[in-house]
Amino acid sequence: MKHAFLAVIALIVIAWLGSLVGLDYLFGVIFPYVAFAIFLGGFIYRVANWAKSPVPFRIPTTSGQGKSLDWVKQDKLDCPVTFWQTVGRMLLEVFAFRSLFKNTKAEMHDGPKLVYGSSKWLWLFGLAFHYCFLIIVVRHLRLFLNPVPAFIGKIEFFDGLFQIGVPVLYQTDLIFVGAVTFLFLRRVLVPQVRYISFAADYFPLFLIFAIAATGILMRYFIRVDIVSIKQLTVGLATFSPAISGDIGSLFYIHIFLVSALLAYFPFSKLMHLGGVFLSPTRNLANNNRMVRHVNPWNDPNIKPHSYADYEDEFRQFMADADIPLEKELPPEPEPEPEPEAEETEKPAEPAAEEASGETPAEKE
Amino acid sequence: MADTKVEQMSVNVVKEPSMMTGAIPRKDWMDIPVTFKPGNYCYPAKKSIVEYLDKGLPGLFGEPREWTVESDDWKLPENWVEIILQGMRERLDKFRSFKVFMDICVRCGACADKCHFFLGTGDPKNMPVLRAELLRSIYRGNFTKAGKILGSIARGREMTFEVLKEWFMYFYQCTECRRCSVFCPYGIDTAEITMMARELLHLVGVGTNWILEPAANSNRTGNHLGLQPHTFKQNAEFLLDDIEEVTGVKLNSLTFNRKGAEVLFVIPSADVFAEPGIFTFMGYLLIFEHIGLDYTISTYSSEGGNFGSFTNNELMKKLNGKMYAEAKRLGVKWILGGECGHMWRVVHQYMETMNGPPDNLEVPVSPITGTVFENAAAAKMVHISEFTADLIMHNKLKIDKSRNDHRIVTFHDSCNPSRGMGMLEEPRYILQNVCNNFYEMPENTIREQTFCCGSGTGLNTGEIMDLRMRGGLPRANAVKHVEDKHGVNMLSCICAIDRATLLALMEYWNPNVGVCGISELVGNALIMDGEKERDQDLRFEELLGAGQAGESGNNEEGE
């Protein structure tokens, strides 16, 4: 946590110093471009890299009744069998965090007695966090597009529906900060989660919190030169960036943190954004017995211990037990009655008793 | 039986300092070394077993040798670190699941308390997320820039002997049950991660005897118990006498390795070997006799269970290949499979891809009902519960439910049929039709949220009993709930490992609850042609109100 916190502080200080010594162009133009390029290139590289590895086996985690007999009701979304059912499962996963919605919390009581309670807070705040983030990003398109598309105005209108304060308070800002705070507090306060967390978990939270905080400061408290900002951002979007006027350090801190997030994104756990689409336990249909799934590296040379070898080893026993044979027994007068029994490959002592692993009392 | 008495264990799991009881380790998990002591590890594979397996699949099981787990010298090959890292590199290129799952975990912790081993031990390294981090930290340290540069700040680390010990400990405290995967927002499946880790461990010759010896047996004798063909046949036929004694009917339909049969029936071999599986086997035979199914059982492919699937995909494929090979040799039309969990994970999700069906197999059609099993159109293999449910649905079984009235039944969804297959309703439909007293366990412990028996994936071995009883606690606890509430005295399941392990688990936690397969209950309820008045069940236990249960009064489904 310490490292992650210091890293974000360092980013803030760097941007602040940069703006003080007049590196406006570096922080306002070059870093954003570089960061965006890293984000795009990195994201594509990571997804392509995952996609390069094949999916040898079809391994969906079935979370409901599969398709079997006609009269057995299939759970189409938790155990999809067709392409479109699978799309449905993925949409629910991506847009509604369906698996997380199932979350429970286990407690151990005297007895012993295990109790499982519903636990939907993580789902709720996780969903709030992601949707607010999305809406905020979309709202920011206002800065990059000229003229501003009508839908952005609509989003802003609904986001500020309660008309609190001037400028109007966006609910998403509030919820977003609340959700980030929740995710952070949960990570620190829930012992299990705290124990598994490390810098890569705290850093994005601190970074995103700092981005939100600087953004909110700019909008509600410390006004910056919005006209100059828009000039710069539209310039960025049209590849003709220009900086005019003194925009203010806060803006440079904000945009530098965003640049850091973009550049960091492809190399971090934030890639779950791309990865969730490639998760073989979710994006495959449960139609394994219906439709062949091909493993590109399937090794045809791996063959079972052949029946011929098996019969060679046990022919005498099989004959004695009236089990049908492929080949006749060798003629009787041979000196050794079971000539092939011993010479075949054979593990020493394949004792049934040992193999079952149970104490004798547990067996028949 | 477990070393710790149940009274003591009941206190331990609630009071001892663990993450389940609110105690948090002061040390970082990377700094907590693994200590092996008797009872917390499985015995290593015997040299002769590894030698045997190495002949079939060279290089995948490491150097055959005798070694001891508690020793600090595992007699690893000189370049074992290189072998592990090279093995990881290869598997990252072969399995997208592995690569994606290494990268995208956000450590949200939703999986943490979903693992039965975590719930039973409170050991932080049994949280699925941390189990994965054991491997992920090596991935980061060796295959990612951040991990290479930042080292432990980025939670990357070097592959050391301590890490190897950690892997051996905790990837053998995972039963690949996939419960965590249901709750993961990205579908990260610890079963995949454990499979990868075990493949890597085997590469350097770190494997357990309880997995590798049954695997070797399956390869050579056809079944994991090492029963040779004549013994296998004798065991099975011995049960015909029991059936005759209970029902008065002498079955004639059981054959072995018979060419030209319509159906090849593959069972988990324990079903001919030990209680209570043998009762399940008797149930199968009664069903087949009842409907006149033209089937045969193979001694060569006498194991449905696949111990290879607990080691690496190569041995899984090699062992599984016998089913199709035998189906081809015998010229059957399709394959029917018995009640077995991980067998069905392999059959449902791997078999068609790995071995593909031979040409002579046809899309399975029930010769009794005419039902076409479209869901098995490619793999040509049908689950006995699908088959039986279809028979009941079409009123093809004459059933006297009251013969199971002495059983108050609950149903344990086995991990693999529920989360690796989606088979939830068929067994329930059967149960509802063959017994009058059926009660579900609490909803967070059944269906896709079912809890493992605690001993799957080759952990069903005597030397780790305490661990197994802890891992099975969530399941046992849910059974206890319905035992207290409804008087449940029978835990039914469709898995052979369950039938062995739940038995031990019930003896320990809920000694008044028995364990049975679904087909046993079907067998009890079946009204056979020419049967005598039934006053005992397949276990020779008295029926409730024996002598009064007549055909006319209780026959629900008869034609």
Cα dist from A151 to A135, A154, A158, whole Å: 12, 5, 11
Task: Identify the pLDDT of residue A354.
Answer: 43
Q: Hunting for tokens 């389940």 — which residue is that?
A: B20
In a domain, B309, yes or no: yes
Smallest Cα distance from B439 to chain A, Å:
19
Q: Are residues B62 and B117 in the same domain?
A: yes
Using the 3D structure, point to which of B348, B376, B393 is the last residue of a domain: B393
In a domain, B181, yes or no: yes
Q: What is the pTM of this model?
A: 0.92
Q: In chain A, which residues have their Cβ closer than 8 Å to the Cβ of B500?
A: 356, 358, 362
Q: Which of A331-345, B8-22, B146-160 has the lowest mean pLDDT?
A: A331-345
Chain A touched by B260 (CB under 8 Å): no
Model confidence at A100: pLDDT above 50: yes
- Provide the 8-state DSSP code for B542: B
Q: Among all residues of chain B, which has the CA nearest to that of A97?
A: B185
Model confidence at B188: pLDDT above 50: yes
Q: In chain B, which residues have their Cβ closer than 8 Å to the Cβ of A52?
A: 93
Q: Are residues B41 and B184 in the same domain?
A: yes
Select the residue from B9, B100, B140, B426 to test the A interface by mutation, using most A Cβ atoms within 10 A.
B100
CB contact under 8 A, A65 and B425: yes
pLDDT confidence bin for B152, thresholds 50/70/90: confident
Using the 3D structure, point to which of B393, B415, B450 is the last residue of a domain: B393
Interface of B with A in 17-76 (CB under 8 A): 19-22, 24-25, 29, 46, 48-49, 52, 55-57
Question: Under 8 Å CB-to-CB from A210, ≥6 apart: which residues?
Answer: A8, A11, A12, A257
In a domain, B161, yes or no: yes
pLDDT confidence bin for B478, thresholds 50/70/90: very high
Q: What is the mean pLDDT of residues B475-492?
A: 97
Q: In chain B, which residues have their Cβ closer than 8 Å to the Cβ of A314?
A: 221, 228-230
Give the number of A-B residue pairs with CB atoms closer than 8 Å.
397
- Provide the 8-state DSSP code for A218: I
Chain A touched by B395 (CB under 8 Å): no
Q: Among all residues of chain B, which has the CA nearest to that of A277?
A: B186
Question: Under 8 Å CB-to-CB from A12, ≥6 apart: which residues?
Answer: A210, A253, A257
Q: How many other C-beta atoms lie within 10 A of the C-beta of residue B454?
A: 28
Q: Among all residues of chain B, which has the CA nearest to that of A186?
A: B108
Q: Is B247 helix (H, G, I), strand (E, B) or coil?
A: helix
Domain span at B321: 222-393
Q: What is the mean pLDDT of residues B338-367?
A: 96
Chain A touched by B116 (CB under 8 Å): no
Q: Are residues B440 and B512 in the same domain?
A: yes
Number of C-alpha atoms within 13 angstroms, CB side, residue A36?
11
Q: Are residues B199 and B235 in the same domain?
A: no
Q: Are residues B299 and B374 in the same domain?
A: yes
Lookup: tokens for B269: 């071999």
Chain A touched by B187 (CB under 8 Å): yes
Tell me the three-class secondary structure of B184-235, residue by residue.
CCCCCCHHHHHHHHHHHHHHCCCCEHHHHHHHHHHHHHCCCCCCCHHHHHHH
Closest CA to A236 of A33, A26, A21: A33
Smallest Cα distance from B154 to chain A, Å:
7
Instruction: Give the dihedral of Cα atoms A64, A68, A71, A75; nearest 10 deg.
Output: 20
Q: Is B400 helix (H, G, I), strand (E, B) or coil?
A: strand
Q: What is the mean pLDDT of chain A?
A: 89
Q: Buried (b) or exposed (e) across B383-395, using 16+ Cβ within 10 A? A: bbbbbbbbbbbee
In a domain, B236, yes or no: yes
Q: Annotate A300-328 with DSSP letters as a single string.
A: TT--PPPHHHHHHHHHHHHHHTT---SSP
Query: Rounded to whole angstroms, how far apart are CA atoms B372 and A67?
Result: 13
Q: Are residues B338 and B455 in the same domain?
A: no
Q: Hunting for tokens 């067996």 — which residue is that?
A: A363
Q: Is B536 helix (H, G, I), strand (E, B) or coil?
A: strand
**Structural domain tally of chain B?**
3
Select the residue from B104, B374, B452, B505 to test the A interface by mutation, using most A Cβ atoms within 10 A.
B104
Q: Are residues B195 and B229 in the same domain?
A: no
Which of A49, A192, A310 is nearest residue B300 as measured by Cβ atoms? Answer: A310
Task: State residue A118 phi and psi, 5-degree precision.
Answer: -65, 145
CB contact under 8 A, A195 and B422: no
Q: What is the mean pLDDT of chain B?
A: 94
Task: Identify the pLDDT of residue A352.
Answer: 44
| Whether the bond into A112 is cis, omega within 30 of 0 | yes
In a domain, B259, yes or no: yes
In a domain, B12, yes or no: no
Task: Identify the pLDDT of residue B292.
Answer: 96
Q: Among all residues of chain A, which has the CA nearest to that of B24?
A: A191
Q: Annotate A91-146 with DSSP letters as a single string.
A: HHHHHH-HHHHT-EEEEEETTTEEEEEE--HHHHHHHHHHHHHHHHHHHHGGGT-S
pLDDT digits 0-9 by tens, A127-184: 999 999 999 999 999 999 888 899 999 999 898 888 888 788 999 999 999 999 999 9
Using the 3D structure, point to which of B207, B234, B257 is the last residue of a domain: B207
H or E segment at B264? strand B263-266
pLDDT digits 0-9 by tens, A305-325: 999 999 999 999 999 999 999
Question: Under 8 Å CB-to-CB from A324, ≥6 apart: which residues?
Answer: B256, B257, B258, B259
Select the residue from B15, B99, B103 to test the A interface by mutation, using most A Cβ atoms within 10 A.
B103
Smallest Cα distance from B533 to chain A, Å:
26
Lookup: tokens for B147: 């991990």
**Percent of chain B at pLDDT above 90?**
94
Burial of A73 (0-12, 13-18, 19+ CB in 10 A): exposed
Question: Under 8 Å CB-to-CB from A70, ≥6 apart: which residues?
Answer: none
Q: What is the mean pLDDT of residues B491-495?
A: 97
Q: What domains, with CATH codes, occur in chain A?
A: 2-62+89-96+125-278 (1.20.950.20), 309-347 (no CATH)
Cα dist from B239 to A320, B302, B519, whole Å: 20, 16, 15
CB contact under 8 A, A317 and B228: yes
Q: Among all residues of chain A, which has the CA nearest to that of B419?
A: A62
pLDDT digits 0-9 by tens, A106-131: 999 999 999 999 999 999 999 999 99
Closest CA to B231 of A109, A248, A320: A320
Closest CA to A113 of B488, B484, B502, B449: B484
Task: Identify the pLDDT of residue B317.
Answer: 97
In a domain, B559, yes or no: no
Task: Identify the pLDDT of residue B319.
Answer: 97
Smallest Cα distance from A95 to chain B, Å:
11
Q: In chain B, which residues have their Cβ closer than 8 Å to the Cβ of A281?
A: 97, 181, 187-189, 192
Q: Are residues B248 and B321 in the same domain?
A: yes
Q: Are residues B226 and B364 in the same domain?
A: yes
CATH code where residue B423 lies: 3.40.50
CB contact under 8 A, B187 and A190: no
CB contact under 8 A, A99 and B182: yes
- Residue type present at position B443: E
User: What's the complex ipTM?
Assistant: 0.92
The β-bridge partners of A117 are A105
Which of A64, A99, A321 is nearest residue B230 as measured by Cβ atoms? Answer: A321
Q: Are residues B541 and B418 in the same domain?
A: yes
pLDDT digits 0-9 by tens, B500-551: 999 999 999 999 999 999 999 999 999 999 999 999 999 999 998 754 444 4
- Residue type present at position B36: F
Model confidence at B4: pLDDT above 50: yes
Task: Identify the pLDDT of residue B557.
Answer: 42
Q: Annotate B378-397 with DSSP letters as a single string.
A: TT-EEEHHHHHHHHHHTT-S
Model confidence at A233: pLDDT above 90: yes
Q: Are residues B334 and B254 in the same domain?
A: yes
Q: Are residues B379 and B490 in the same domain?
A: no
Q: In chain A, which residues have their Cβ closer than 8 Å to the Cβ of B7?
A: none
Alpha helices in chain A (DSSP H): 2-20, 24-25, 31-52, 83-96, 98-101, 121-140, 150-159, 171-189, 191-196, 199-216, 226-237, 249-264, 272-275, 307-320, 352-356
Closest CA to B102 of A122, A187, A279, A192: A279
Chain A touched by B198 (CB under 8 Å): no
User: Is the torsion defined by CA of A116, A117, A118, A121 positive or negative?
Assistant: negative
Interface of B with A in 511-550 (CB under 8 A): none
